[in-house]
Structure 1
Amino acid sequence: MVSNLVIYLDGRRAGVATQSNTGNLTFCYDESYRRSPNATPLSLAMPLAAAEHKKRVVLPYLQGLLPDSDDALRAIAQRYSVSRRSVFALLTQVGSDVAGAVEMRLEGEKSSDASHTRSNVRIVDDAELGRMLRHVVLEYAEGVAYDDQVGHFSLAGAQPKIALHRTSEGQWAVPLDATPTTHILKPVSGRMRRIDVVEQVTMDAARYLGNRVAPSRLHTIDGLDVFVTQRYDRKSVDGLWHRVHQEDLCQSLSVSPAKKYQRLEGGPGIASIAGLVKSLPFERDRRDVGRSFYQAFVFNVVAGCTDAHAKNYSVMLEGSNVSLAPLYDLITYAPYWDGETPLSSAMSVDGEYSLSKITAAQLIEAGHRFGLGDESADIVDRTRSAMVPAFEFAVENLPDHITKSSEVTEDLMRMLPQLPLVLS
């Protein structure tokens, strides 16, 4: 049986994704949408110049909207009685609130985003929110669904997380109707010691060095340590919430999330990302996206952010305009490093992955792929020399309820100067 999912971008019908009875997937833009002025493509891999796009590009895009965790997919499948192996079936259940401006509806269902009711929510107290957070940790660990009423959202990535709406009064709420989620909450699951603190400090250090970074805060909710990120793909205009379109670089390059690591699975690296940047239609976007990505890439390599794969970079899409999205999921490995175990970059630099073997000259040369010329040397030198002050600033500015002399921050500041590319 043929199944259709209508795809809307912030309430505007863009086209239809179709799965045939043999499992083939296609996406076809509505002609009226494709021909309209300032239409935004669903993906850079699915340009508006072509009306129909095949499974080779459609499947990786849809996969990128779902969690990377098999156990999390199993829990979603159990909750809605669908196959965890069917991306299409999963998105029929959780596709109403995903990354970017996308809302997915079965044929015949209207987009709730098309209405002007985007402020209807159900307030949750700390006790209920604590249960939700504890349950999502178990779902990612065990693949067992719980009956929390957390909405039909889907969050990409491998870490346990939920998405909620934050009201103007500062209350957490489950969105109803067309109201989008506005924040992502990641509970500390215990796999890495105080990873929330490490992520906050790394994000703040990246911002200190001039990178655009997603707003984030550390919270304690019902006794749980929680890392909270404000969604940059949501915005409020005159009291009405809107979804803003974005996609990660694996989606842009039609690469399955299972192949996100260049080092482990042959996923996207500097060469393919530079090629994508060069293909952008506007020269200013090629320049700005190239520079912003390169600066972020250098930060991740120098800071020892060993998980900086292609899904941890995204682009914002608005009409034909493209910009690098604010950075997210930045975590230095420094506080967990013993000083001896080899550390590897998620992407190679001139064919080299080992942080102890990557040279500053190789990093500078990588910048030439983005047309930066001599500026790449300035970015590398500034990042290397200011890395320790950036982290010192970030630790000093941790919120009052976090002990600034905690063991994890002490380990971070002790090991950070020992990272191979850091100048101290």
Structure 2
Amino acid sequence: MRHYNVYLEIDGSQVKVGEIEGNSSEDASFSYSKEYVARTDSRAISVSLPIQEEPFSPERTKIFFDGLLPEGFMRKSIATNMHFDENDYLSILYNLGKECLGAIRIDESDEEQESGYEAITSMQVEELAAEGTTKSTEIVIKTHLSLTGASGKVGLYYDEKEGRWYLPCGLAPSTHIVKQSHIRLDGIVTNEQLSMLTAHKCGIDIPESFIINVGQGTDSQVLFATKRYDRIIDETSQLIGNLKRPFRVHQEDFAQAMGVAAFEKYETDGQNYAEKMFEIIRNYARRPLEDQLRLWDRIVFNFVLGNTDAHIKNYSLLYDPHMEGISLAPAYDMISTVIYESATKDMSFNIGGIRNLDSIDEDSFKSLAAKVGIGEKIAMSNYHKVLDRFENAVKESAEELKEMGFVNAGDIAERILLARKKAL
């Protein structure tokens, strides 16, 4: 029988919320501990896992906790290196679950572990940029870090004053997610930073991000770094060595909140993911009206950007540090996929009943507004604001990146505008 403790960091303290028990990944179930349920301040770790005394089914348990793990080739590489079956989510989670997205931690014992940061040399950063999944897999296993998604990404600590990168050790939290360039998609790092800057100029809430250039800016010499919105450093942060320890803040993506398995993150006919996302915002967000419009703007932006990979794991909910409120998390993983010939033209979920990017129009968004319960007047006013800002935002963002030495930004901007000419 396997027994793993589930911890949640609240206000900087590790709180045991429950256990996962079972003989294997197929029958393991999560249950909140009696002590946690009895607390007057207990909070659910997921919209899909409300506070209750009874254990959750193995299926619901797997959907949430498997949703913390890497996917695709990255997961296969990690499982191979650890000598696990890639479908054995429980074993992978136990080995990587010391530092997850959000504030969840998985451990076998209650013993405290040492925490620290190991400085990374400039050569190691270059290797991470150049070596693809091999290097990122090595770092993920070494740091016991679990990050969702199929791309090669690692969690690192960045000392902004000194401009130095560190590997988190033990239970030390990371501050940034660092993503490698995708070898099959040219200029994807520049594409993502261009898309994020454009989103910000169109009024979309984004985390701080930047390109790490270890050479001449070619695909094998760049990394994409995003400052974690689920990590906070303030004046009360304790020191680990001479570095401030970030507080973990809980989050979950919409697949986890909706109880949808990671392999079902792309909508099929009749699932109406957008409607379910808005329903969760209405029922759980601290400021539901504001967050519904923020979600609306983001869906509009992903459409005009031509981001057909904006699936429900690329939208998240962010809990406050006290676990007393929920809001829509900042936008992330935004790229223009349609500039690549291999990309699908089907959106990740339907817009007013339509998924094909080239078939979606203003009427599709009017239909979506009616279905998700937003007034047509304000919905379409926001729709036009995003579309009206988009072209200039792309051009301005490209110029900023070109001035920083990323000369391919101009070409990528032209490809985006040409691909999205019909929408504009």
After TM superposition, the score normalised by the length of structure 2 is: 0.87
CA distance in 2 between partners of 1:419 and 1:220 (Å) = 29
CA distance in 1 between partners of 2:344 and 2:74 (Å) = 31
Supply the AA of the counterpart residue of 1:161: K
Q: How many residues align?
A: 404
Pair 1:89-2:91 in alignment: yes
1:21–1:175: structure 2 CA closer, same or farther, 3 Å change rule? closer
Give the equivalent residue in structure 2 for 1:177.
170
Q: Output one character per residue of 1:72-101: Cα deviation in whole Å (capped at 9) or x when no partner.
A: 223222333333221001111111011100
Q: Percent identity?
A: 23
Q: Which of 303, 306, 310 is residue 304 of structure 1 equivalent to?
A: 306
CA distance in 1 between partners of 2:58 and 2:291 (Å) = 27
Aligned partners of 1:94 and 1:152 also within 8 Å: yes
Pair 1:207-2:204 in alignment: no
CA distance in 2 between partners of 1:50 and 1:297 (Å) = 37
Superposed counterparts of 1:344-423, under 5 Å? 344-373=346-375, 374-398=377-401, 400-404=403-407, 406=408, 409-416=410-417, 418-419=419-420, 422-423=423-424
Pair 1:272-2:276 in alignment: yes
Give the equivalent residue in structure 2 for 1:137.
133
Structure 1: which 5+ runs fail to align?
Answer: none
RMSD: 2.6
Aligned partners of 1:285 and 1:321 also within 8 Å: no
1:325–1:50: structure 2 CA closer, same or farther, 3 Å change rule? farther
Q: Output one character per residue of 1:332-360: Cα deviation in whole Å (capped at 9) or x when no partner.
A: 1354369xx98322211122112221121
Q: CA deviation at 1:148?
A: 8.3
Q: Which of 179, 193, 215 is residue 186 of structure 2 equivalent to?
A: 193
Q: CA deviation at 1:194?
A: 0.8
After TM superposition, the score normalised by the length of structure 1 is: 0.87
Pair 1:261-2:266 in alignment: yes
**Secondary structure of 1:53's aligned partner:** coil
Bigger shift: residues 161-170 or 324-333? 161-170
Aligned partners of 2:158 and 2:176 also within 8 Å: yes
Supply the AA of the counterpart residue of 1:227: F
**Secondary structure of 2:233's aligned partner:** strand
Q: CA deviation at 1:411?
A: 4.5
Aligned partners of 1:72 and 1:139 also within 8 Å: no
Q: CA deviation at 1:149?
A: 7.1
Aligned partners of 2:211 and 2:223 also within 8 Å: yes
Pair 1:27-2:30 in alignment: yes
Q: Which of 16, 21, 31 is residue 19 of structure 2 equivalent to?
A: 16
Q: CA deviation at 1:397?
A: 1.9
Structure 2: which 5+ runs fail to align?
Answer: 239-245
**Secondary structure of 2:118's aligned partner:** strand
CA distance in 1 between partners of 2:57 and 2:272 (Å) = 20
Pair 1:330-2:364 in alignment: no
**Secondary structure of 1:279's aligned partner:** helix
Aligned partners of 1:56 and 1:254 also within 8 Å: no
Give the equivalent residue in structure 1 for 2:158.
166
CA distance in 1 between partners of 2:210 and 2:414 (Å) = 20
Supply the AA of the counterpart residue of 1:345: M
Give the equivalent residue in structure 2 for 1:225.
222
1:180–1:136: structure 2 CA closer, same or farther, 3 Å change rule? farther
